[in-house]
Amino acid sequence: MPDTSCNTRLDISLRVIYKNVDIPSNPNKIIDDLQWNFTDEFTNGIGTKKVNLQYHNQLVMAAGTIHTINLDSWLDAFTLSQNFDAIKCVIIQNENTDYGFVLFDFLDKAERFSLGPGGFYVMWEPQGQGLELSMSESGSTPEGTLQLTNSSPETTTVSVYVIGTHEETSSGGVESYTTDPPVA
């Protein structure tokens, strides 16, 4: 088995300039200038702010199809059989910008999110040991899986990134950010 290393950095920036252009004396006067930046990183290993495993895939999903990713058993970039014990980062992006809605259920938490055209979801949990895979079967998604559904009448491309650890016990906490609200 090869020796591997996993280092991860996340940078998110937001800039909003909000102004009233109906003021004849000064149409360029800025009313509100919002700037928000988030930068964090994981180093190789297990524990706080550490990761040692990553999964990524770009899926081309036909209209109405369901794709289930089993995070308990999959092949990594080196074709080695892997499994996550704790997940610290998930990014899901609907890469089509003019059509396509992707619904996804994550780890049987009975939560369903919808990503419209160009939408993305980010979950980042650096401080504890991540989000564990072995949760109760209370929702529609099998334990230890990520399920994506293309509810669009067109083919949709979805990118999936999961970063976490093997051989680590989870804390169960989670921070998440999405561009679309949860769907009932």
The full DSSP string for 6-21 is --EEEEEEEEEEEE-T
The pLDDT assigned to 169 comes to 59
- β pairing state of 50-51 and 30-44: parallel
Confirm whether 14 is domain-assigned.
Answer: no
Cβ atoms 54, 82 nearer than 8 A: no
Confirm whether 124 is domain-assigned.
Answer: yes
Confirm whether 16 is domain-assigned.
Answer: no
Q: Alpha helices of 9-154 — where are they, by DSSP H?
A: none
CATH number at residue 54: 2.60.120
Segments forming the whole domain that contains residue 140: 43-178
Confirm whether 35 is domain-assigned.
Answer: no
The pLDDT assigned to 125 comes to 83
Q: What is the CA radius of gyration of the chain?
A: 19
Confirm whether 56 is domain-assigned.
Answer: yes
The pLDDT assigned to 37 comes to 92
The pLDDT assigned to 27 comes to 66
Q: pLDDT tens digits, the chain, 184 residues: what are they?
A: 467 788 888 888 988 888 777 777 776 777 788 899 989 898 998 888 888 888 888 999 998 898 888 887 777 777 777 888 888 888 899 888 777 677 777 655 556 778 888 888 888 887 766 666 654 444 455 567 788 888 888 888 999 998 888 876 544 444 443 444 444 4
Confirm whether 84 is domain-assigned.
Answer: yes
Confirm whether 27 is domain-assigned.
Answer: no
The pLDDT assigned to 136 comes to 40
The two structure tokens encoding residue 6 = 């996993």
The pLDDT assigned to 132 comes to 66
Query: Across the chain, which distance is largest between two alpha carbons, in Å?
Result: 70
How many domains, in total, are found in the chain?
1
The pLDDT assigned to 76 comes to 72
pTM of the model: 0.75
Confirm whether 88 is domain-assigned.
Answer: yes
